Every structure is written in C-alpha cells, then in structure tokens.
Amino acid sequence: MAANEQDKLKQERRGAVRDKLATLVQTRTEALALFSDLISRRPFAVDPEVRNALQEFCEALIDYTASAHFQLYRFLETNIERRAPVLKVADEVYPHIVRTTDAILEFNDKYEKARLEDCVDCLPEDLSRLGEALADRIQLEDRMIGVLSGARH
C-alpha cells in the first residue's frame, strides 16, 4: 500500500474515532444533565414529576452506558486501533469501567420499572452511590478520550 493510501486510511480511522468520542460525550452530557435535574428535586416525593424525571434519567443512563460500550470499547475490541498507548490505557481502565457499568445496571434495574412508592426512601442514598460510580467512570473515560485524541494520559 502506498504511503498516501496509508495516510488516508489513518485519517479516516482518526475521523471515525472523533465521531465516536463526540457521540459518547453527547450521551454522557445528556445523562448528567438529567441526573442533575433529578437530584435538584430533593427531597423526593411520590409524584408524577419525580417519577417522570427518574424514568427519563434511567433511559438516558442506559443510552449513555450503551454508547460507551458501542462507541468506544467495541471499537477497541475490533482491533482497528493499533496505537500501543491507547491499548495500554484501555487494558488498564476497562476492568474498572465494567464495575461502574454493574453499578449503573443495578440502579437501572431497581428503578426503571419500580413503583416510586416502594423506593422513594432509598433514592437519595442510591443516587449518591450512583454519582460516585459515574464520577469514577467519567475519569476513566476521560483517560481513554485523552489518549485516543492524542493528548497525554
């Protein structure tokens, strides 16, 4: 393959990475905005506004989690990415990302279809734990974003 073709392929791959990262950041931003909106409704009451905010947040949370998987980690699994620093950071952070995913899925499973009456008292503590998991996840994702975009890790 000629050098010009290799450069073109490299540029296309990097463009695809930028698009995937933009999608990830967008879904993450939407989920965090809804998280903030939900938190601002404390003290939580059993009412339709809280119920709707919780449902909308759970949907965005799952969209974000799926986006991270499909936009970032699945991309890395396809072996398209060949840069050693990227692969090294991915190996370091992925096990931790899996733990945060477990926390997200646990929260979603509990609240997605639950009757708010049955779990409103647990919601503040569960949101606190989820917030810690999200903060950890964001730090890990930011490491991946940094190394994928060519910044230092």
- Cα separation, 105 vs 133, in Å, equals 11
CATH code of domain 3-148: 1.20.120.1370
In percent, how much of the chain has pLDDT > 70? Answer: 93
Per DSSP, helices labelled H in the chain are 3-39, 48-67, 74-77, 84-111, 116-119, 123-148
Q: What is the pLDDT confidence band of residue 44, given thresholds at 50, 70 and 90?
A: very high
Joined tokens for residue 42: 């404390």
For residue 150, pLDDT beyond 70: yes
Residue 40 has what DSSP assignment?
T
| Annotated domain spans of the chain | 3-148
DSSP class of 151: -
Q: Cα angle vertex 119, ends 116, 122, to 5°?
A: 135
pLDDT at 39: 97
Question: Six-digit token pair at 132?
Answer: 């810690």
Burial class from Cβ neighbours inside 10 Å (0-12, 13-18, 19+) for residue 102 reads exposed
Instruction: Note the pTM of the prediction, 2 decimals.
Output: 0.87
* 70-126 pLDDT per residue, tens: 777 776 777 666 788 888 998 899 899 989 999 999 999 999 888 999 999 999 999
Half-sphere exposure of 96 (CA within 13 A, CB side): 17
Q: Sign of torsion, CA 23 26 31 32?
A: positive
Tokens of 128: 């606190």
